[in-house]
Amino acid sequence: MEHNIEASMSNIMPAPFARSLYYHMARIRRFEDRVVTLVDDNEIAGVCHEYSGQEAVAVGICGALTTSDIVTSTHRGHGHTLAKGGDVGRMFAELLARTGGYNKGRGGSMHIADVGIGIFGANGIVGAGAPIACGAAHKFKAARENRVAVSFFGDGAINQGVLHEAMNLAAIWDLPVIFVCENNQYAISTPLKEVTILDPYVRAQSYGMPGVCVDGMDVEAVYHAALTATERARSGKGPTFIECQTYRYFGHYTGERHMKMNYRSQEELDRWKLRDPITIWAERMMQSGLCAQEEIEAIDAEVNIEIDRGVEFARSSPPPNQAEALDCMYAVPYPNTPAWGVES
Ligand SMILES: Cc1ncc(C[n+]2csc(CCOP(=O)(O)OP(=O)(O)O)c2C)c(N)n1
Ligand SMILES: [Mg+2]
C-alpha cells in the first residue's frame, strides 16, 4: 500500500486531537507489552489475545465517536476498550483476577465491559457482537437518540451467519451501525484467502450499504472512514461497512509464542512492522508540524507512568473471596438456592 504523507495529511485536524490519537495508540501498545510480561510471570492466568499492531483501527474508529456512542468488541478486545476510554487499572485488575477489575475479577480478558462509557463487552464468540450492536442501534433509532453503534469483528467472522443476519437487519431498518472488519489476514492460523473468495468489504454490496476498504495501519485513514460512516448513521441513512487491512504482531493468543506454528513467515511480519501504525503517525505529525519529537517523548513517558500505576492498582487489589463466588452471577439471586457443590 502506498503511503503518501503529504497527500493524506489533513490540514484541518487540530494538533491536540492528532496527539490524542498517538496517545491512545501508544497506550494500547504499552498495555499489551505489559500483558505479555504478566502472562510470562504467571501473574495473569488464562489466555489473552493481544491487539498489538492493530492500534490504528480501534483508535481511528473510536476517535470519530462520542462517549454516548457504543461499541461491541471481540475476543481481541483490549484495544477497543482502551480506545473507548477504558480504565487501565480496572483492566489490569480484571486480567489479574482481582476484585478491583471490571468484572470483579470473575470475567477475565474476554468479558470486559463498561456500559457507562459505551463498551458493550468483549465477546468470546466470533461474530456475536454484531446483533448486540444492532439491538443497541434499534433502540437509538426508536428513541430518536443521536447515537451510533459500532460492531468490531475479525476477518474470521466474515462467514458467520449471525453477522449476515445482523447486516441485513441493519440495512433493512436503516440502523445507525458501523460494521468494522479488522482484517488482520488470519483467523487463528487460517489465511482469509483460503476460506473466502471475495474481499470482506465487497459483502456490503449484498446488503445495499456502502462498503469501503482502508489502510488499517493508518490511523488518519481509518478516522476519516469512520467520520463518513458516523455522519451517514447520524443522518438516518443507515449502516456502513469498513474493512481495515491490518496485522497482529503476536500470535493468535499469548500461548502461541511457545508453540512452533509456521503459518506465517518472519519476512511477512517484518514487512508489516515497517508500516507500524504508531511510528508512521508520529513521523507524519512531526513532518507536518503538528507535534515535536520532545512532545512525543513526553506522551510516551506519560503512558508509561499510567501503565505502571495501572499494574500497581491491580496488584494491590484483593483477590475475590471464595465465599462470594456466586455473587454477581445472576441479576436476581435465587434466595433459596444453595451454592454449587454444597449439600442442602
Ligand atoms: C462462533 C465461534 N466459532 C469458533 C470460535 C473459535 N475461535 C476463537 S477466535 C477464532 C478466530 C477468529 O479470527 P478473527 O475473527 O479473524 O479474529 P482475530 O483473532 O484474527 O482477531 C476462532 C475460530 C469461536 N470463539 N466462536
Ligand atoms: Mg483475523
Three-state DSSP state, 45: coil
Three-state DSSP state, 158: coil
How much is the mean pLDDT over the chain? 92
C-alpha pair distances (Å), 141 with each of 148, 177, 215 = 9, 10, 30
| Closest ligand to Cα 129 | 1
pLDDT for 15: 95
pLDDT for 332: 65
- pLDDT tens digits along 277-311: 999 999 999 999 999 999 999 999 999 999 999 99
Confidence at 154, pLDDT banded by 50, 70, 90: very high
CA 181 – ligand 1 centroid, Å: 13
pLDDT at 7 over 50: no
**By mean pLDDT, which of 39-53, 279-293, 327-341 is the weakest?**
327-341
Q: Which DSSP string do the residues of 97-120 spell out, in sequence order?
A: T-TTSTTTTSS-GGG--BGGGTB-
From the alpha carbon of 124, which atom of ligand 1 is closest?
25
Ordered by start, the domain boundaries in the chain are 20-312
Answer yes or no: is the C-beta of 124 below 6 A from any ligand 1 atom. Answer: yes
Structure-block grid coordinates of residue 207: 446488503
Answer yes or no: is the C-beta of 188 below 6 A from any ligand 1 atom. Answer: yes
CB 326 within 8 A of CB 312: no
Whole-angstrom Cα distance, residue 84 to residue 299? 18
Nearest CA to ligand 1 atom 21: 154
pLDDT at 6 over 60: no
pLDDT for 4: 33
pLDDT for 5: 33
pLDDT for 12: 73
| Closest ligand to Cα 186 | 2
CA 280 – ligand 2 centroid, Å: 22
pLDDT at 342 over 80: no
Arithmetic mean of pLDDT, 99-120: 95
Query: What is the DSSP pairing of strand 149-154 with strand 186-187?
Result: unpaired
What is the pTM (predicted TM-score) of this model?
A: 0.93
Answer yes or no: is the C-beta of 157 below 6 A from any ligand 1 atom. Answer: yes
pLDDT at 261 over 80: yes
Answer yes or no: is the C-beta of 170 below 6 A from any ligand 1 atom. Answer: no
The environment of the single-atom ion ligand 2, i.e. residues with CB closer than 5 A, is 154-156, 184, 187
Answer yes or no: is the C-beta of 252 below 6 A from any ligand 1 atom. Answer: yes
Arithmetic mean of pLDDT, 197-210: 96
Nearest CA to ligand 1 atom 17: 154
Confidence at 329, pLDDT banded by 50, 70, 90: confident
Whole-angstrom Cα distance, residue 216 to residue 245? 5
Arithmetic mean of pLDDT, 203-225: 97
Whole-angstrom Cα distance, residue 53 to residue 44? 21
Nearest CA to ligand 1 atom 20: 187
161 vs 336, more confident? 161
pLDDT for 325: 80
Structure-block grid coordinates of residue 10: 489533513
CA 153 – ligand 2 centroid, Å: 8
Written out in words, the top-level CATH class of the domain with range 20-312 is alpha beta
Nearest CA to ligand 1 atom 4: 126
Q: How many CA atoms lie within 13 A of 283 on its CB side?
A: 13
CB 32 within 8 A of CB 81: no
pLDDT at 316 over 60: yes
pLDDT for 323: 85
